[in-house]
Amino acid sequence: MPATLRWLGRRLILAAFVVFGAATAAFAAMNLMPGDPVLTILGSTNPTPALIAQVRSDLGYDEPFAVRYAEFLGRLVHGDLGQSYQLREPVTEVITGQLLPTAELALTAFVLALAVAAVLAVTTAGRRPAVRRVVSALELLTTSSPGFWIGILLLTFLSFRIHLFPAAGGDGVNGLVLPAITLALGMTGVFSQVLRAGLERALEEPYALTARARGTGETAVRTRHALRHALIPVLTLSGWALGTLLSGAVVVETVFGRRGIGRVMATAVIGRDVPTVTGVVIVSAVFFTLINILVDGLYRVIDPRLRQEKA
């Protein structure tokens, strides 16, 4: 499959460029920060000039800009994202230590959103207008509510009032339920709207009529023909969705007091711990770019028309 190989090659080169650009932007951000970063790191402890000079030299801030940029890129290639101002440990370690709870939360929310949306869409697509309309309005409502508010409401009424779930932290499934629902709610609305629109479009297509005219039953027309077509736009969205879930985690982990990258990020932004923030941003950009390549690849598996050579 030379076409597929060429596609993959092109995508990887483009991805490398995008990641390089993202790293450069992050580096620029670090250096654009108003005020002296060394003073920010040392905080309010009224440091002696000797200590300032010492830290400055330790962190390489006395080098020229170009040298620092080159060193930054060099360290990046080796997986070194610098030192956190606040936590005083390497950013790489901070991130890897917190990766798992966030991945768990985001994936649970993603699967939950997709499953609920699929059920909603397949059962309501092209059926009773009244039911459809109510469901669509509810979907629009959930996408109109801020996630952190939903989280606070769930906490207020399910944790503080009837003590169904732990209010903060909590490991295992119990601690995951409310945060995952909170994170999934808005996403479900988006997925189910897109999925239903795709199904309805596919069910109107002549190939659906032809399939029925062959004696194929309604369920088979929906699952065998229409669903594959409807999944294409959902797939396109899933890259965006994972990114949104990641930034949603920043708020949700704060609301529920969960450990994770999001909480690290929120604390770092408030404390203006720029190395940690850029570290998280660069790692997410890499991850996001890879996800997008994966999505494009799946796209080609589902739709054979895309496997053809194209200019």
Q: How far is CA 23 from CA 27, 81, 136, 244, 275, in A?
A: 6, 10, 40, 20, 12
- Out of 21, 60, 74, 169, the residue judged to bind other proteins by CB under 8 A: 21
Judging by beta carbons within 10 Å of its beta carbon (0-12, 13-18, 19+), is residue 139 exposed, middle or buried? buried
Distance CA 69, CA 41 (A): 20
CA distances to 41, 43, 235, 265 from 54, in Å = 13, 15, 52, 28
Selected from 177, 211, 230, 264, the binder of other proteins by CB under 8 A is 211
Q: How far is the CB of 14 from other proteins (least distance, A)?
A: 8
Selected binder of other proteins within 3, 12, 13, 14 (CB under 8 A): 14
The verdict on 16 binding other proteins (CB under 8 A) reads no
Q: What is the distance between the alpha carbons of residues 176 and 157, in angstroms, rounded to a whole number? A: 17
Q: How many residues bind other proteins (CB under 8 A)?
A: 96
First to last CA, the chain: 16
CB of 20 to other proteins, least distance (A): 8
Stretch that binds other proteins, among 41-49, 88-96, 97-105, 201-209 (CB under 8 A): 201-209
Q: From the CB of 217, what's the least distance to other proteins, in Å?
A: 6
Asked if residue 306 lies in contact with residue 8, where contact means CB atoms within 8 angstroms, the answer is: no
Single out the residue of 210, 223, 294, 297 in contact with other proteins (rule: CB under 8 A): 210
Residue number, 177 or 185, with CB nearest to other proteins: 185
Q: Does residue 75 interact with other proteins by CB under 8 A?
A: no
Residue of 204, 46, 189, 198 lying closest to 122 (CA atoms): 198
> By CB under 8 A, what part of segment 78-117 binds other proteins?
none
Spatial contact of 77 and 20, defined as CB atoms under 8 Å apart:
no
Contacting other proteins (CB under 8 A), which of 133, 169, 171, 297? 133
Instruction: Compose the 226-265 pattern: x for residues touching other proteins by CB under 8 A, - for all others.
Output: --xx-------x--x-xxx-xxx-xx--xx---------x
